[in-house]
């Protein structure tokens, strides 16, 4: 993997909403928690600016992160991030410990390749619809991809690509597909242009009207 994410963390003893607010306001720290594995959950704090900078990189959301906690390094992935609804402030973060020998469940972004040359869009004039932008996967930490690619160059108007159409890297499984074919959800499609759809609807209505009038004449 090309990125090596490391964050410095401190153990946190003070709990509660009041303590968290003071931590953010006075120390520019973000309250967080590490859980999972064979250890008990541990409350920590992170430097707000360092975490904010890391979150600007898409790979951070689906990458193994090294948390340096007062001399102890732990391998984790980001499981949840809480932000202020109107301010550029990170309120809380959840990290899950990972083990080299145990599969983990996480979400990775889907990168749609060749959208600009998709035949349904050019020259078809269709409209792209992405019904899924990230995929829930299961894999060992060493096999964790930063993103999944889906080539849409040959998708025509009306075609639908499903999870099963995604070519997953070796060692990576779709969590949805592990539950059966009924969970093979749509990911990408190219819809008809609205104007074309409207014209077809009008043509269909006119055809129905003509048929009804013909039937009336026969009676």
Per-residue pLDDT of the chain (219 residues; tens, 9 = 90+): 446 899 999 988 766 666 666 666 666 789 999 999 888 999 999 999 999 999 999 999 989 999 998 888 999 999 999 998 988 889 999 999 999 899 999 999 999 999 999 999 987 789 999 999 999 999 999 999 999 999 999 999 999 999 999 999 999 999 999 998 899 999 999 999 876 545 555 455 555 554 555 555 555
The tokens for 136 are 């829930």
User: Which of these, 78, 81, 147, lies nearest to 108 by C-alpha position?
Assistant: 147
Residues comprising the chain, all counted: 219
| pLDDT for the residue 60 | 93
Burial of 127 (C-beta count, 10 Å sphere; 0-12/13-18/19+)? middle
Instruction: Check residue 15 and give its pLDDT.
Output: 67
HEC profile for the chain?
CCCCEEEEEEECCCCCHHHHHHHHHHHCEEEEEEECCCCCCEEEEEEHHHHHHHHCCHHHHHCCEEEEECCEEEEEEEEEEEECCCCCCEEEEEEEECCCCCCEEEEEEEEEECHHHCCCCCCCCCEEEECCCEEEEEECHHHCCCCEEEECCCCCCCCEEEHHHCCCCCCCEECCHHHCHHHCCEEEEEECCHHHHHHHHHHHHHHHHHHHHHHHHHC
pLDDT on residue 18: 65
- Give the pLDDT of residue 29: 85
Compute the chain's Rg from CA coordinates. 25
Can you give the pLDDT at residue 214? Answer: 52
Task: Judge if the upstream peptide bond of residue 123 is cis by omega within 30 degrees of 0.
Answer: yes
- Partnered with residue 138 across adjacent β-strands are 105, 173
210's tokens: 């003509």
Rounded CA separation 126/195 (Å): 10
Q: Is residue 19 within 8 Å of residue 162, measured between CB atoms?
A: no
Domains of the chain by range and CATH? 5-98 (2.40.240.10), 105-197 (2.170.120.20)
How far, in Å, CA of 103 to CA of 178, rounded? 14
Q: Shortest CA distance to 158 belongs to which of 188, 185, 199?
A: 188
Partners of residue 8 on adjacent β-strands: 68
pLDDT, position 1: 43
- What local confidence, expressed as pLDDT, does residue 3 receive? 60
């Amino acid at each position: 993997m090309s990125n090596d994410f490391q964050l410095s963390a401190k153990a946190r003893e003070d709990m509660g909403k009041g303590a968290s607010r003071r931590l953010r306001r006075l120390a520019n720290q973000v309250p967080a928690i590490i859980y999972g594995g064979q250890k008990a959950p541990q409350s920590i704090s992170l430097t707000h600016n360092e975490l904010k900078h890391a979150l600007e990189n898409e790979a951070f959301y689906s990458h193994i992160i090294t948390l340096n906690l007062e001399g102890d390094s732990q391998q984790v992935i980001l499981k949840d991030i809480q932000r202020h609804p109107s301010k550029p402030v990170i309120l809380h973060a959840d990290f899950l410990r990972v083990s080299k020998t145990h599969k983990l469940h996480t979400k990775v972004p889907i990168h749609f390749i060749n959208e600009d040359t998709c035949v349904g869009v050019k020259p078809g004039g269709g409209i792209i619809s992405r019904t899924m932008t990230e995929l829930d996967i299961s894999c060992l930490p060493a096999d964790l991809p930063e993103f999944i690619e889906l080539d849409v160059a040959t998708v025509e108007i009306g075609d639908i690509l499903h999870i099963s159409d995604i070519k997953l890297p070796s060692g990576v499984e779709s969590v949805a597909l592990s539950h059966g074919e009924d969970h093979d959800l749509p990911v990408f499609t190219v819809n008809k242009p609205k104007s074309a759809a409207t014209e077809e609807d009008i043509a269909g209505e006119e055809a129905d009207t003509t048929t009804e009038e013909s039937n009336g004449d026969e009676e």
